[in-house]
Amino acid sequence: MKTKITWLTLVLVFLAFNSVNAQQDEECMTNLSIFSEYAKAKNYDAAFEPWMKVRNKCPKLNLNIYSAGEDILEHKIDKSNGAEKVAFINDLKKLWEERAMHFANKTKKGEYGAKSCQLLYDNRELLNLTDEELYDCFDAAYKADPETFTNPKSLYTYFSLMVDLYDAGKKSAAELFNKYDDVTEKVETEVGNFSEDLNKLVAKEDAGTALTSKEERYKRYYESYLNAYDQISSSIDKKLGDRANCENLIPLYTKDFEANKNDAVWLQRAAGKMSEKECTDDPLFFKLVNAYHALSPSANSAYYLGILKDKEGKSNEAVKFYEQAISLETDNFKKAKLNEKIGDKLRKRGSYGSARSYYDKALQLNPSNGRPHLKIADMYNRSANDCGDNNFNKRAVFWLAAAEAEKAGRVDPTLKSSASQSAASYRAKAPQKSEIFSEDMSGKSISIGCWIGRTITVPKI
C-alpha cells in the first residue's frame, strides 16, 4: 500500500511540475511576443517589463531576449544618469554574459568581449576606470578570440590605450610596437576579407550585370566597413606618430636582435617597420633582411631584398627580387599590395610605363582598391606636356587622367571624395567647349604616344 501511495505521489508531482512548466512557457511566449513588438516599434520603455519577465523565467527561450534586450538596455543607459546609469551599464554587461551562457554558439567571444570593453571605455569617467583596467579588458578579449575581435572602433581604442600607457611609462617600446603590428595586421586581414567579397560584386557590375537588391545591401555593408577600417588605419598611424621613428626603432631592434634572430615573425615585423619608416639606410636593416630570408624565404623577405638592391643602385636586380616576391605570394590581396608597392617605386623613379603595368596587375587582383587608378591618373597628369604633339592634344591627356580618377571613386568607397576632386581638377585643365568647337574636334579620336599609348575620344558638344 505504501508503495502504491509513493508512486501515485510521484506521478502527481510530475504532472504538477509539467503543468507549471507549461504555464511558464505559455507566459514566456506571451511576454516574448509583447516585448518583441514593442522593441520593433522602438518603444523600449514599454518593452522593458515583459522582456525582464522572459529573461528571468525562460533565459533559453529565444535569442531575441538578448538581441532586443541589448537595444532595450542601451536605451535605458542613454536616458539615465548617475547610479541608475551605472546599474544599467552593469546589467548590459551581465546580459552579454548570460547570452554567452545560454547561446554560446551564437556569441563570439572576441566580438562580445570587445563590445563589453567598449561600453566600459565609453563610460570610463562615470565608472572611474583607469587606462590600465580598460587596456587589460580589451587585451583579454583580443587574446580570447582574436578572429572575431573585428570592430574597427574597438581595435582603435585598444591600440590608443596602449599608446597612452606607453606615454605614461607603463608599457615598453617593444610592447607598443608589437601591439601596433598586432592591430595593423588584424586591420589588413579584415580589409582583405571585405575586399574579396566586394571584388565579386564589382566584377559583376563591370561585366554589365545589375546587382540584386540583396547584393546591393551587401555591397553597402562591405563598403561601410572598408570605410571604417580606412579611417581607423589613419587614426592608428596618427596616434603612433613619431614614437616609431628610426631613432627609437634602431636601438630597440639592435638590442633585441640576438635574442630574436631565429624568430621569423619578429624579424619580419622588425624589417617591415624599418622599411615602412624609411630606416633602410642603417646596416641593421641589411642584417634583419638577410637573417629573415635565410630563416624563412618568403614574399616579404624577397621584397626587402629588392629594397636592399635598390639602395645599392642595382635597379635591375631589385626588380628580379620584387618579381620573386610576387611569385612567392599566394594571397591575392597581399599580391595586389606587392604589385602596388613595386609600381610606387617605379613611379618615383619616373618609369611610368612599367609602373602602370604593375598598377594594372594590382587592379586585376584587387579591383575594389582605387589607389592604383589615382596613381595612374597622376602619371598621366604629369606627362601631359610630354606626350602630345600639339597644345590641344597635350591637354587632351587630362581627360584620360580624369577618367582614371573617376574609376577610383567608382570602385573604392574610401576614395569617393578625393577621386571626385582630382577628376574635377584634371577636367578643368583639359580643352573647354569653345576650344573643342574652334578646333573642330568634337567626338574625334586622338592617339597619344610616348609611354601612355592610349586613344582619347574628345567629348561631343
Of 176, 193, 210, the one marking the end of a domain is: 193
- Tell me the three state secondary structure of residue 455: strand
For residue 37, the domain's CATH number is 1.25.40.10
What is the distance between the alpha carbons of residues 317 and 324, in angstroms, rounded to a whole number?
11
Residue 249 belongs to a domain? no
Helix, strand, coil proportions of the chain in percent (round to 5)? Answer: 80, 0, 20
pLDDT by residue for the chain (461 residues), tens only, comes to 444 445 444 333 343 333 334 445 899 999 999 999 999 999 999 999 999 999 999 999 999 999 999 999 999 999 999 999 999 999 999 999 999 999 999 999 999 999 999 999 999 999 999 999 999 999 999 999 999 999 999 999 999 999 999 999 999 999 999 999 999 999 999 999 999 999 999 999 888 999 999 999 999 999 999 999 999 999 999 999 989 999 999 999 999 999 999 999 999 999 999 998 999 999 999 999 999 999 999 999 999 999 999 888 898 899 899 999 999 999 999 999 999 999 999 999 999 999 999 999 999 999 999 999 999 999 999 999 999 888 999 999 999 999 999 999 999 989 999 999 999 999 999 999 999 999 999 999 999 989 999 999 999 98
Nearest to 186 by CA among 220, 138, 148: 148
The secondary element (H helix, E strand) that includes residue 447 is: strand 445-448
Nearest to 416 by CA among 405, 432, 403, 430: 405
Burial of 285 (0-12, 13-18, 19+ CB in 10 A): buried
What residues make up the domain containing 363?
A: 331-461
Nearest to 178 by CA among 161, 196, 159, 202: 159
Of 193, 221, 236, the one marking the end of a domain is: 193
Cell, residue 124: 570610463
- Tell me the three state secondary structure of residue 454: strand
Give the list of residues 6+ apart from residue 143 with CB closer than 8 angstroms, or none. none
pLDDT at 13: 35
Residue with cell 584587387: 366
Residue 449 belongs to a domain? yes
What is the distance between the alpha carbons of residues 67 and 97, in angstroms, rounded to a whole number?
13
Nearest to 433 by CA among 441, 425, 423, 444: 441
CB count, 10 Å around CB of 1?
A: 5
pLDDT at 24: 53
CA 216-185-219 angle, to 5 degrees, is 0
Residue 267 belongs to a domain? no
What is the distance between the alpha carbons of residues 125 and 443, in angstroms, rounded to a whole number?
65
Residue 454 belongs to a domain? yes
Give the list of residues 6+ apart from residue 142 with CB closer than 8 angstroms, or none. 110, 113, 114, 149, 158, 182
β-pairing, 445-448 vs 454-457, is antiparallel
Residue 23 belongs to a domain? yes
Cell, residue 98: 548570460
What is the distance between the alpha carbons of residues 92 and 73, in angstroms, rounded to a whole number?
6
CA 401-404-405 angle, to 5 degrees, is 85
Sign of CA dihedral 171, 172, 177, 179: negative
Instruction: Report how many domains make up the chain.
Output: 2
Residue 226 belongs to a domain? no
- Tell me the three state secondary structure of residue 149: coil
pLDDT at 315: 87
What is the distance between the alpha carbons of residues 108 and 189, in angstroms, rounded to a whole number?
18
Residue 250 belongs to a domain? no
Residue 96 belongs to a domain? yes
pLDDT at 413: 87
pLDDT at 311: 87
What is the distance between the alpha carbons of residues 410 and 176, in angstroms, rounded to a whole number?
37
Rounded to 10°, the helix 352-365/371-383 angle is 160
Rg of the chain over all Cα atoms, to the nearest angstrom: 30
Of 142, 169, 193, the one marking the end of a domain is: 193
- Tell me the three state secondary structure of residue 446: strand
Rounded to 10°, the helix 109-122/152-167 angle is 60
